[in-house]
A and B are shown apart, each in its own frame.
Chain A
């Protein structure tokens, strides 16, 4: 989803529309993903 946001340049509302999921869920999924991505990229 981060990839989609990134490569397709979608915003949260657009992602939510595309995934057919509530905006809040999309936001929390992406945020969790970003935080884990950050952990992976840190060091």
Chain B
């Protein structure tokens, strides 16, 4: 069997010449076991034909190779081991080169065309849930950047007579910007001006304050903040 197999390997490695080569070819045609051996060797040696595509050998295999080499002093064996190391180094270098080539190939081309909004992906939505610590006010605010549409859904808004509830956007590190008054009931939709819309971002705060009827006269909150929440992307 061993003779069998090494002849197959010799054939795959194209070591054979003349009569031995003829013999191997005859046996591939006539001897299924031998043909299977040839296939076995081809499967294992073929990756070496293109070193670039070589897969790393499992550590177990290297361990067995190393064990086989160790404890066998002799010029030939030592030489073989040195060759083995060079072989491995060569394969690693080739693999590294392949990785570099792949990286170059995969590097995205500079974007010369403006990125088109992906129609298949749902547009992001900014949502804040506002609740008061001391006041019973509760509402949700949803903002769709695509359409600059703000949707206010009051859960519990109670404005005493001659008072109003005003909604504010407070960008991170910025001054409150009025989003208008909030009615006590019903879903309220409004389309924001672009300048205001541009300030909407995740992390910004949305708050409701207590204001005089008709809203804050100063453009900034004048009464208590009744409820607040921060915007997050959904």
Chain A positions near chain B (C-beta within 8 angstroms): 1-3, 5-7, 9-13, 15, 29-31, 33-41, 43
Which size class do B's interface residues fall under?
20 to 34
A38 & B45 in contact (Cβ 8 Å cutoff)? no
A-B contact number at CB 8 A: 54
Contact of B10 among A29, A34, A36 (CB under 8 A): A34
**With a CB–CB cut-off of 8 A, which chain A residues contact B41?**
38
Segment from B13-21, B110-118, B149-157, B207-215 that makes contact with A: B13-21
Shortest A27–chain B CB gap in Å is 8
For the complex, would chain B's binding face be called helix, strand, loop or mixed by DSSP majority? helix
A35 & B2 in contact (Cβ 8 Å cutoff)? yes
B14 & A40 in contact (Cβ 8 Å cutoff)? no
B15 & A12 in contact (Cβ 8 Å cutoff)? yes
For the complex, would chain A's binding face be called helix, strand, loop or mixed by DSSP majority? helix
Nearest residue (CB) in B for A12 is: B15
Interface residues of B in 52-93 (CB under 8 A from A): 60-61, 64-65, 68, 76, 80, 83, 87
B45 & A31 in contact (Cβ 8 Å cutoff)? no
B17 & A13 in contact (Cβ 8 Å cutoff)? yes
- Could you list some 23 contacts between A and B, CB below 8 A? A1-B83, A2-B13, A5-B13, A6-B13, A7-B48, A9-B14, A11-B15, A12-B17, A13-B17, A29-B76, A30-B10, A31-B6, A33-B80, A34-B9, A34-B10, A34-B13, A35-B5, A36-B65, A36-B68, A38-B5, A38-B9, A39-B68, A43-B60
